[in-house]
């Protein structure tokens, strides 16, 4: 197997696993959202590296250039990035509201508060 | 941050260039990297800078909530309207070939209109989101005083 | 990028985490330039490194700056994440090599896009043409998503801050 081989997928997978861990492990909601962003970026890397053609150039048609990289993943990821920031914003807004009603952004503390509330009622 | 003179002056100097760059990215998206999404974000970032340096009240005076709301809806309306216009002129939904005398020009106009709609919505959405986060902090400060 | 991802895991100061995630986005953007995705790199630099960092700092200023350090390391998430990683790496063994021009992804609609977009629209940037014309429905959907997100944040964060009430507190 010559050099680049499958390394691009493995980089994406390393980032993906880190993102997955960051979504699952921390109790802190803001850190979970950062983890979600890491995960998202890993998917972007996966798509974009799949679209690369050896010897190709950016898909802007110009004279004297024959080989272009695949424009389709670029389009998909371009929109995905902007939608990603939109979902991040909604998630952060929810975190802010949770902090206002519970006074904490740690998941286990929120759960304890909710259970205490259910017991009281 | 409003007491730092250098920051205030430099921010004021930078504003027109950021907006000019956003417009360049918007218009030049057909020929180089860029387009509505990027232009919208850059345009919004100019107002984010303004809000950070001069405070939320000044920023709201420049860019009132009502205007942002109209921009938010108008962008989607331009996008959908371009599609419906194609429909009325005898093509398919979002088919721009019928917008002008020949298909190539029609496509060009259509893509331009669409990118404008995208840019307007993205800019308004980003500014709205930031203003609401920052505005909430300002509200809290007032209440604590 | 891997290094900054690892830092995000290790750091407990949330401000530092947000700044490192900005660095991570910027590195991702430079990486996208290297693999020919200039439009994507532009967007990632503006959105990922710019706006999202500012938004997270805005959210942090409304919440707390430090994460509670966990008393014991979380074993189960590590096992699940590693198992997923191994399964994914096993899955890549059948994938085409990086930059292979004969990969299936380059055989489907992409050649048509590259060949037809300039003659049909007169616009040299294929990404713009595919975005706005060939996949116009998709982009309409994305714009609607952003519109909805803007309205969501408006609804969630408008109004005055209320004190915690004993009843009707269902967040």
Flag whether C169 is in a domain. Answer: no
Please state, in angstroms and as integers, the Cα–Cα distance from residue A77 to each residue in A121, C10, C138, following that order: 48, 28, 12
Helix ranges, A5-120 (H): 7-24, 29-51, 71-102, 107-120
What pLDDT does B17 receive?
93
Q: In DSSP terms, which residues pair with A28 in a beta bridge?
A: A106
Residues of C whose CB is below 8 A from B42: 46
Which pLDDT value is given to residue B18? 92
Q: Which of C16, C27, C28 to mutate to test the interface with A (most CBs of A within 10 A)?
A: C28
Residues of C in contact with A27 (CB under 8 A): 67-68, 70
Distance between CA atoms of A118 and B64, rounded to whole angstroms?
43
In-domain check, residue C16: yes
Binding partners of A (≥3 Cβ pairs within 8 A): B, C
Query: CB-based contact (8 Å) between C78 and chain A?
Result: yes
**Average of pLDDT values for C108-137?**
80
Per-residue model confidence as pLDDT tens digits over B33-42: 878 888 998 9
**pLDDT per residue over C4-22, tens digit each?**
777 777 777 888 888 888 8
Work out the percent of chain B whose per-residue pLDDT is above 70. 92
> Are residues C130 and C39 in contact, defined by beta-carbon separation less than 8 angstroms?
no
Asked if the C-beta of C52 comes within 8 angstroms of chain A's C-beta atoms, the answer is yes
Domain boundaries, chain A: 7-120
pLDDT in tens, C41-86: 888 888 888 888 888 888 888 887 777 776 667 788 889 989 999 9
Which residue of A lies nearest to C21 if distances are taken between CA atoms?
A34
**Contact call for B29 and C122, based on CB within 8 A:** no
Q: CA A8 to CA A52: how far, in whole Å?
A: 11
For residues C75 and C13, membership in a common domain is answered with yes
pLDDT score at C166: 43
Position B20 confidence tier, pLDDT thresholds 50, 70, 90: very high
Q: Is residue C170 part of a domain?
A: no
Tell me the sheet residues that pair with A60: C125
**From C8, C85, C110, residue closest to A70, measured CB to CB:** C110
Once rounded to an integer, what is the mean pLDDT over residues B109-132? 89
- Quick one: pLDDT band at residue C164, thresholds 50, 70, 90? very low
Pairwise CB contact (< 8 Å): A78 & B37: yes
Cβ contact, residue pair A60, B41, below 8 Å: no
Number of domains present in the structure of chain C: 2
Q: What is the pLDDT of residues B72-83, one digit of tens each?
A: 899 999 988 888
Long-range contact pairs involving C134-141 (C-beta distance under 8 Å, separation at least 24): C135/A75, C136/B83, C136/B94, C136/B114, C137/B94, C138/A75, C138/A76, C138/A79, C139/A79, C139/B79, C139/B114, C139/B118, C140/B79, C140/B80, C140/B83, C140/B94
Buried-state track B47-64, b at ≥16 Cβ within 10 A, e below 16? bbbbbbbbebeebbeebe
Which of B60, B77, B132, B145 is most worth mutating to test chain C (most C CB atoms within 10 A of its CB)? B132
Percent of chain C with pLDDT over 70: 90
Q: Residue range A110-120: average pLDDT?
A: 85
The mean per-residue pLDDT over the stretch A83-97 comes to 89
Note the pLDDT tens digit of each residue in A23-66: 888 888 888 898 899 899 999 988 888 888 887 788 887 777 77
Tell me which chain A residues have a C-beta less than 8 angstroms from the C-beta of B129: 86, 89, 93
Distance CA C19, CA A99 (A): 21
Mark whether C15 and C90 lie in a shared domain.
yes
CB contact C40 to A (< 8 Å): yes
Q: Of residues A55 and A116, which shows the higher confidence score?
A: A116
Classify residue C129: in a domain, yes or no. Answer: yes
Of B33, B122, B133, the CB nearest to A82: B122
Task: Look up the CATH architecture of domain A7-120.
Answer: Orthogonal Bundle (1.10)
Please state, in angstroms and rounded to a whole number, the distance separating the CA atoms of residues B40 and B20: 12
Judge if C21 and C3 occupy the same domain: yes
Please tell me the least confidently modeled range out of A72-81, B53-62, C101-110, C143-152. Answer: C101-110
Residue B144: pLDDT above 50? Answer: no
Residues of chain A with C-beta less than 8 angstroms from the C-beta of B31: 60
Residue spans of the domains in chain B: they are: 5-144
Residue C156 forms part of a structural domain: yes
pLDDT for residue C83: 92
| Residue C150, domain extent | 101-162
pLDDT above 70 coverage of chain A, percent: 97
């Amino acid at each position: 197997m010559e050099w680049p081989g499958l390394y691009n997928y493995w980089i994406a997978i390393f980032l993906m696993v880190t993102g997955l861990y960051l979504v699952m492990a921390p109790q802190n909601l803001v850190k979970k959202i950062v983890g979600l962003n890491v995960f998202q970026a890993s998917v972007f890397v996966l798509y974009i590296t799949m679209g690369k053609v050896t010897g190709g150039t950016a898909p802007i048609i110009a004279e004297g250039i024959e080989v272009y990289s695949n424009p389709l993943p670029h389009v998909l990821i371009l929109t995905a990035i902007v939608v990603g920031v939109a979902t991040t914003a909604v998630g952060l807004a929810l975190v802010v509201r949770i902090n206002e009603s519970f006074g904490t952004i740690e998941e286990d503390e929120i759960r304890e508060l909710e259970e205490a509330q259910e017991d009281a009622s | 941050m409003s007491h730092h003179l250098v920051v205030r002056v430099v921010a004021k100097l930078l504003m027109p260039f950021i907006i000019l760059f956003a417009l360049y990215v918007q218009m030049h998206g057909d020929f180089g990297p860029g387009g509505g999404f990027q232009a919208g974000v850059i345009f919004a970032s100019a107002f984010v800078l303004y809000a950070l340096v001069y405070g939320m009240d000044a920023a709201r005076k420049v860019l009132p909530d009502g205007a942002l709301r109209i921009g938010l809806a108008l962008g989607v309306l331009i996008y959908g309207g371009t599609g419906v216009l194609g429909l009325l002129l005898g093509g398919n939904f979002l088919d721009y070939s019928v917008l002008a005398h020949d298909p190539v020009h029609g496509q060009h106009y259509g893509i331009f209109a669409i990118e404008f709609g995208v840019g307007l919505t993205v800019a308004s959405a980003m500014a709205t989101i930031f203003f609401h986060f920052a505005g909430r902090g300002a509200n809290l400060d007032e209440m604590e005083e | 990028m891997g290094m900054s991802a690892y830092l995000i895991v290790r750091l407990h100061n949330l401000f530092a985490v947000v700044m490192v995630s900005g660095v991570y986005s910027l590195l991702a953007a430079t990486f996208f330039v290297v693999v020919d995705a200039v439009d994507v790199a532009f967007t990632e630099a503006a959105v990922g490194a710019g706006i999202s960092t500012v938004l997270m700092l805005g959210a942090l200023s409304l919440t707390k700056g430090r994460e509670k350090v966990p008393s014991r390391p979380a074993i189960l998430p590590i096992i699940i994440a590693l198992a997923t990683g191994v399964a994914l790496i096993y899955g890549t063994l059948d994938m085409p090599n990086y930059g292979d021009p004969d990969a299936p992804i380059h055989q489907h609609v992409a050649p048509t896009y590259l060949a037809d977009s300039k003659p049909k629209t007169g616009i040299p940037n294929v990404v713009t043409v595919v975005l706005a014309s060939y996949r116009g429905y998709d982009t309409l959907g994305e714009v609607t998503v952003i519109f909805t997100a803007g309205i969501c944040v408006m609804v969630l964060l408008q109004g005055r801050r209320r004190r915690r009430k004993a009843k009707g507190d269902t967040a």
